[in-house]
Structure 1
Amino acid sequence: MPGGACVLVIALMFLAWGEAQECSPGGHQFLRSPYRSVRFDSWHLQQSAVQDLICDHSLSPGWYRFLILDRPAEMPTKCVEMNHCGTQAPIWLSLRDSETLPSPGEIKQLTACATWQFLFSTTKDCCLFQIPVSVRNCGNFSVYLLQPTQGCMGYCAEAISDARLHPCGSDETETGGDCVRQLAASLPPPPAGRPEVLVELIESRLFCRCSFDVPATKNSVGFHIAWSRLSSQEVKEELTQETTVQAFSLLELDGINLRLGDRIFCSASVFFLENPHVQSVAIESQEFFAGFKLQPELSTISEDGKEYYLRIESTVPIICSEFSELDQECKISLKLKTIGQDLVFFWGIYPC
């Protein structure tokens, strides 16, 4: 069969030459942020994590492929409301009446639009800004030739629905292009594991970390985390809130928002990214005391000639860099007051 083998080799060479470079693994980059989803409400970021807002004005020009939590995604072709996709001005792919998306192996020059609504205006403009975008259909996925935006705008992505990837099962229903189990379609997600508060040292600064176990679910989830502390009147004061897709939150022990001696709490609730307004029950951590603990907690020590052992523990790391640079001991002075005289004891903390 020499003739058949020759034909096969020629065919394989033709396929290799015919594949577009931008479709190859090294021919494009990935945009993976789950915030880019058309179903993500950017209002949460604007309220608690403005630094996480997506602004593509610094995006490097090139070919990109969208993924939403490692799930294949593509640019939407319908107008996206403001304050979605992790930004204020979402960018979507506009198709005129005579335009269609490219067929497999084809490339097309299309136009992307940014949605915006001016202050005090009652109507939005779905295409206030226009950006040229080239789209290449690579067969199993599409890649987009993107360029930096004119301002703080963000390219949107829409996860390819389960219904397109595989048919919905008998116990599932097609909701918004996704296969969702019928019993779970209208229910909130399961709650997170009980959060735990610890203190860690990051680049010579102390941060409280609130971390928790993520519940098992088939849908993509985010987390709403709230920090609070007990006042001197035993009343909980809320410090800050944060919405994130990470299973932890950091809050600096800066002496202003959080101080030594504070009794700190954090709570976490879970929400589906496609429906962020439906949240699970908020689970609160145990109290975390930031400071020094005395064990046992004795209020008085009698002058009876007996030995009393006190254990002093710090729940926060002790930073000794300034002392070590001066070649001095790093220590904390503890004063025990007795009737009639003051006794001063020194507890040495030496840097590692």
Structure 2
Amino acid sequence: MPGGAWALALALMLLEAGNAQECSPGGHRLLESPHRSVHFDSLFLQQSAPQDLICDHSLAAGWYRFVIFDRPAEMPTKCVEMNHCGTQAPIWLSLRDSETMPAPGELKQLTACATWQFLLSATKDCCLFHIPVSVRNCGQFFVYLLQPTQGCMGYCAEAISDAKLNPCGPDEIEIEGDCVRQLSASLPPPPPGRPQIVVELIESRVFCRCAVDVSPTNNSVGFIIAWSRLSSQDVREELKQETTIQAFSLLEMDGINLRLGDRIFCTASIFFLEKPQVKSLATESQEFFAGIKLQPEMSTISEDGKEYQLRIESTIPVVCPEFSELDQECKISLRLKTVDQDLVFFWSLYPCRSW
């Protein structure tokens, strides 16, 4: 996958993770007991306070996030010895040879295992019980879809080290496991120049193009481009929003979303592909009138027998494919009326340009 496309895919995954309900503060619950740590010896609880042993058979099914001493934590992915994590049968996340933890924004169905050792047995079974667990990577942390256990078992957690929390320096960002120096990673990119709306014809279909003014050498950014129009009551109506790595967006004049006579605008902002949440202020285009205009727009024509010239100008191409196939001339009819009477005093057919 090309670098720009991969970076956009990563940015969209991060945006999707941010929009996942289970990643929001109200979408999951916290498991904060420090006894869940893989380093906690449960034998101490069995001797002093057996009522405090963790038994997740009464755990309500749902999404959970692990925290130990106010530090983010994750389920371990290696076998945990018995009598740890505040319980007798600790539960850990088993990854097969071909399995990995989900990437940012990704959801995976994995399997957890419970460790147990029978009395008088010299060996332990790291995976005596199997429990399905769904894992979502929310970008900065994992959330787990957990269910009640069959007996007195407990889900384990391991606090994330400082090196894993901050693997890169303050002026670096992580890309595919490598730290890449980027001095402006924490600062928003500068806003783009004023976007321009132009019209083009693509296979006999009319499109408006919102072209963003940006440096052609900057290929580490993406764009959020939004289209809107003014209603007859001068109320702004949003038509479309697009996230793209290309410095333009197309909107078809289909007679539904975009109609003849509409006054349309587009706005553009820039974001870093590696940090999609860091984006610039939006810049708006000038108003573009999609239709036919009279030049000058207002003119007084007296009924004095003299000839007056007015200029008719179309801001969009007039497409007549059905007439072209029949070898007929494509025309527009214009009718002028007096102010106080519905009296036609000038009638003409103007041939149109077929763009």
* Shorter-normalised TM range: 0.5 to 0.7
Q: Which moved more, 1:311-320 or 1:336-345?
A: 336-345
| 8 Å CA contact 1:292, 1:314 repeated in 2 | yes
Instruction: Establish whether residue 123 from structure 1 lines up as the match of residue 144 from structure 2.
Output: yes
Greater C-alpha radius of gyration: 2
* Shift in Å, 1:297: 1.4
* Shift in Å, 1:215: 4.0
Instruction: Establish whether residue 278 from structure 1 lines up as the match of residue 281 from structure 2.
Output: no
Normalised to the residue count of structure 2, the TM-score between the two structures is 0.54
In structure 2, the partner of 1:43 is 16
| 8 Å CA contact 1:320, 1:350 repeated in 2 | no
| 8 Å CA contact 2:223, 2:271 repeated in 1 | yes
The one-letter code of the counterpart of 2:196 is: E
* Shift in Å, 1:236: 1.0
CA–CA distance in 2 between the matches of 1:242 and 1:316? 23
| 8 Å CA contact 1:207, 1:250 repeated in 2 | yes
Output aligned runs, 1:172-321, within 5 Å. 173-176=171-174, 177-182=178-183, 184-215=184-215, 220-321=220-321
Number of matched pairs: 222
| 8 Å CA contact 2:171, 2:182 repeated in 1 | yes
Which digits, 9 at most, give the CA deviation of each residue in 1:295-322, with x for residues without a partner? Answer: 1112431112332211111110111221
Q: Secondary structure at the match of 1:191?
A: coil
Residues 276, 287 of structure 1: CA spacing in aligned structure 2 closer, same or farther, 3 A cutoff? same
| 8 Å CA contact 1:39, 1:275 repeated in 2 | no
Output aligned runs, 1:128-143, within 5 Å. none
Residues 315, 218 of structure 1: CA spacing in aligned structure 2 closer, same or farther, 3 A cutoff? closer
CA–CA distance in 2 between the matches of 1:213 and 1:315? 21
Instruction: Establish whether residue 344 from structure 1 lines up as the match of residue 344 from structure 2.
Output: no
CA–CA distance in 2 between the matches of 1:310 and 1:214? 39
Residues 255, 40 of structure 1: CA spacing in aligned structure 2 closer, same or farther, 3 A cutoff? same
CA–CA distance in 1 between the matches of 2:218 and 2:203? 37
Percent of residue pairs identical: 58
Which digits, 9 at most, give the CA deviation of each residue in 1:193-233, with x for residues without a partner? Answer: 21011111111111111001224776711000110001111
Structure 2: state its 5+ residue gaps: 21-98, 110-133, 137-142, 147-168
Q: Secondary structure at the match of 1:323?
A: helix
* Shift in Å, 1:179: 3.6
| 8 Å CA contact 1:323, 1:330 repeated in 2 | yes
CA–CA distance in 2 between the matches of 1:264 and 1:246? 21
The one-letter code of the counterpart of 1:174 is: E
The one-letter code of the counterpart of 1:43 is: E
Residues 116, 334 of structure 1: CA spacing in aligned structure 2 closer, same or farther, 3 A cutoff? farther
CA–CA distance in 2 between the matches of 1:38 and 1:266? 22
CA–CA distance in 2 between the matches of 1:310 and 1:327? 29
Which digits, 9 at most, give the CA deviation of each residue in 1:141-166, with x for residues without a partner? Answer: xxxxxxxxxxxxxxxxxxxxxxxxxx
Which digits, 9 at most, give the CA deviation of each residue in 1:103-122, with x for residues without a partner? Answer: xxxxxxxxxxxx866xxxx6
| 8 Å CA contact 1:192, 1:268 repeated in 2 | yes
CA–CA distance in 2 between the matches of 1:206 and 1:77? 47
The one-letter code of the counterpart of 2:16 is: W
* Shift in Å, 1:175: 3.4
The one-letter code of the counterpart of 1:80 is: A
CA–CA distance in 2 between the matches of 1:181 and 1:218? 13
* Shift in Å, 1:78: 5.6
